[in-house]
Amino acid sequence: MTIPQVDPEIIDFYTDTFDEATRLTATADGMLEMARTQELLRRHLPPGPAAILDVGGGPGAHARWLAADGYRVHLVDPVVKHVAQAAEAGIAAEVGDARSLTAGDGSYDATLLLGPLYHLLERADRDQALAEARRVTVPGGLILAAAINRYASLFEHTATTWLDRESVRDAVTDILATGVHEPGRKGFTAAYFHTGQELADEMRAAGLRDVRVYAIEGPTWSLLKAAEQHTGEPVSLNSPLFRAALAAARAAEPYPDLLAASSHLLATGRC
């Protein structure tokens, strides 16, 4: 079997350009993503010491708190730097690809795909990643997959005012039309942006049942980004604005129409 290869641009981006280790702690919208992801995972995961495979787990931002919660966590990521950072934090980790996992069939109680789907531009590759996640998860086990929302870049670049720049506006327009941030474009690496319905459809096509899609940050995350961008001051976890954004994310959960306003989406499904 041919071993899949991750686009070198993606590896280079996370190795040399972007610090994934601080993404969920350096900004208010990142902290909101972390808080809500923790909230949703704790709601759905089986109790510890269940075994969890964290595919595309980066430097271990989620693996660390899951381990602290009593879970047995194994992390897989294609970026050598990330695997080393996770290992340094005491997380069992290996270099690998979401489309070709080394784990045996039914090895884990739950599998996380909190990054791979938005760096696999082709539907066939995303289908393969979901198929592999299902293979290594026990029957009846849980798969949780994250995606970048199709409309996130529109909200983000309005908040930063970068949408006023022609090159950024062109890139955002293309993402809205196709879902693809093309390789070689500045600002981010090659990526795919889902709609909520598309993410649910891909989960169901993988044979998963009881699929539900959540808005992770909810509809007001870009207000946090705008506040930090234009005041030059951080928005703290204890600030009224952060608490209001967190409350908005929770209040929005019953309303699928509001999925389109979140930065990231989280889909849950059972094998």
pTM of the full predicted structure? 0.96
Q: What stretches of the chain show up as alpha helix (H) in DSSP?
A: 8-12, 28-44, 61-68, 80-88, 123-136, 152-159, 166-178, 196-205, 221-231, 240-252
Structure tokens at 249: 């994310």
- List the structure tokens of 226: 């705008």
- Closest of 56, 163, 80, 114 to residue 266, by C-alpha: 114
Asked whether the beta carbons of 81 and 150 are under 8 A apart, the reply is no
DSSP 100: B
Q: Which of 219, 205, 225 is nearest to 267 (CA)?
A: 205
Cα 57 to chain centroid distance, Å, stands at 9
Using one digit for the tens of pLDDT, what is the confidence trace for 128-180? 999 999 999 999 999 999 999 999 999 999 999 999 999 999 999 999 999 99
Please count the CA atoms within 13 angstroms of the CA of 54 that sit on its side-chain side.
Answer: 27
Tokens 């970048």, residue located: 148
Has residue 242 got a pLDDT over 70? yes
Residue type, 168: V
DSSP β-bridge partners for residue 177: none
Judged by DSSP in three states, 163 sits in helix
The string of pLDDT tens digits covering residues 40-52 is: 999 999 999 999 9
Nearest to 95 by CA among 16, 34, 6: 6
pLDDT tier at 185, thresholds 50, 70, 90: confident
Least confidently predicted of 81-85, 148-152, 174-178, 183-187:
183-187
CA distance to 165, 174, 178, 229, per residue, from 171 (Å): 10, 5, 11, 21
Residue ranges and CATH numbers for the domains of the chain are 8-270 (3.40.50.150)
Question: What is the amino acid identity at position 28?
Answer: A
Structure tokens at 128: 């393969």
Structure tokens at 125: 């590759």
